[in-house]
Chain A
Amino acid sequence: MDAAAGDVVIGEVYHWLSDPAHWSGPDGITVRLTEHVLLTVLSVLIAVAIGLPLALWLGHRGSGGSVAINVTNIGRAVPIVALLALLSMGVFGSADFGPFGRAGLATLVTLSLFALPPIITNTWVGMREVDRGIIEAARGMGMSEAQVARRVEVPLALPLIVSGVRLAVVQVWATATIAALVAGPGLGRIIKHGYDAQRGAEVVAGALVVAVIALALERFFALVQSWATARASGQAARSVGAAA
């Protein structure tokens, strides 16, 4: 494709996106977008529900460090395409799963697994990086272990915990696109359909929707993270003040 063809594609992309017919119907952008959002939100929630307490507990005790660190390295080495193909051909099957669409259950499980590593690693590291002096001071003031964790460690670890959730959300949003390559639902289906039909405009339009929302998610969580950081430094000052 030469540069001139590229120009044509951009115009076609706008044309494709502004056609209401492409937004409605069972294969429209609206349905795919809903699947994509549902999958991302639920799988990150599942990963937080499992990973957060585990990593908070391990981080508070200071054990399980090699597991907490290596889980990220392992996650990176496993191709999402492979895991999803194996799960949808094996235990979970490719059947429709409510509003989550085709192979919804296999996709949900795969994405939850992919959301776990950043949450576990960041939470664990965040808990370990809390100043030991502050924790000792809190214990010295007679706080129980649960109080130390809840009132001192978690607030101070919050910026890294939020950064883990941010990574998980962005990664899952991105990964959910790839699900369509194999069997799954989501916005990737529009891109895949475009490739199969050799329609460049549809490919680029689908990609554009995914990319714009990915960047928006990233910006949103960056704001949450800076809020958490500001809060943590205030907390640190208070903790040190209380300890002094």
Chain B
Amino acid sequence: MFPLAADNCLTRNDWICGAYYASRAGVLRDALVQHVALVFVSVLLGMLLAIPLALLARRYPRLEGVVVGTTTAIYTIPSLALFSLLVPLTGLGVVTVVVGLGLYSLTILVRACLDGLASVPADVVEAARGMGYSGARLLRSVELPLALPTIMGGLRVATVSAVALTTVGAILDYGGLGTLLIQGKETDFRAQVLITSLLCVAMAVILDLALVAAQRLLTPWTRQQVTS
């Protein structure tokens, strides 16, 4: 048995505590993995829905107003409220968190896809048509590559936002690091709150840098431009 008044960083409730990191490394790792998985699946879900939606909205202008209006409305709804409004449809579990986060990503990504496609110069599209490009081939070889910088910009915003928003999933016990963070707050455990907060910020920064690197590889022709 440990003496009751053992003096260490845990009993002192220090903000930084090596003993805590060492003893709970597995728990922290599991939360980190869950956090990354939630971000990845929900942003991917948003992306898979955003591209066809943007293409449909572009083809049918009347649909564009509906898509832009609906996505703006969704983005306005607070995350805790959105998760809660989804509960009757998707239950009290991980599906609600993924669908909620996916909807937020979708709203950012649909806009980015529409803006990106609109930014393709009309004369380039004309020239490509003149060379015999049309339909899916025009989209794949000409329009999407030229829209990519804008789409990637949206993807960065969606990903960084998703990392922060995932913490709210703690209300449904699927918040990755957020679950540990709120548990730490409720038990007034400083080291746990600080380390999970820092890991969230670090994850957002690392994923953002990774997407910047991916964008440079995918669109070498934009390298002269300054990317913020």
Contact = CB atoms under 8 A, between A and B. Distances in A.
Contacts of B91: 1
A81 B181 contact: yes
Contact of B80 (A77, A82, A170, A207): A207
B194 to A, nearest CB: 7
Interface stretch (A2-10, A48-56, A128-136): A2-10
Contact of B201 (A78, A174, A200): A78
Question: What is the interface residue range for chain A against chain B?
Answer: 35 or more
Contact of A174 (B78, B157, B167): B78
A181 B170 contact: yes
Contacts, number: 145
Contact of A178 (B76, B77, B79, B188): B79
Nearest to B156: A73
Interface in A94-139: none
A191 B81 contact: yes
Contacts of A168: none
Contact of A170 (B76, B200, B201): B76
B87 A203 contact: yes
Contacts of B171: 181, 191-192, 195
Contacts of A81: 167-168, 170, 178, 181-182
A210 B77 CA distance: 8
A81 B77 CA distance: 17
B88 A215 contact: no
A180 to B, nearest CB: 8
A218 B84 contact: no
B200 A188 contact: no
Given A77-B204, A215-B73, A82 B78 contact: no
B16 to A, nearest CB: 13
A150 interface: no
Contacts of B170: 81, 181
Nearest to A218: B76
Nearest to B89: A6
Interface string B193-222: 110110011001100100000000000000
4 pairs of A and B residues whose beta carbons are closest in the complex: A174-B78, A82-B197, A207-B84, A207-B81
18 contacts: A6-B88, A73-B160, A76-B204, A79-B164, A82-B193, A85-B197, A86-B194, A89-B193, A174-B76, A175-B78, A177-B80, A178-B168, A191-B84, A195-B172, A206-B81, A207-B80, A214-B76, A214-B77
Interface of A: 1, 5-6, 9-10, 66, 69-70, 73, 76-83, 85-86, 88-89, 170, 173-175, 177-178, 180-183, 188, 191-192, 194-195, 200, 203-204, 206-208, 210-211, 214-215, 217-218
Interface of B: 72-73, 76-85, 87-92, 157, 160-161, 163-165, 167-168, 170-172, 178, 181-182, 184-185, 188, 190, 193-194, 196-197, 200-201, 204-205, 208, 228
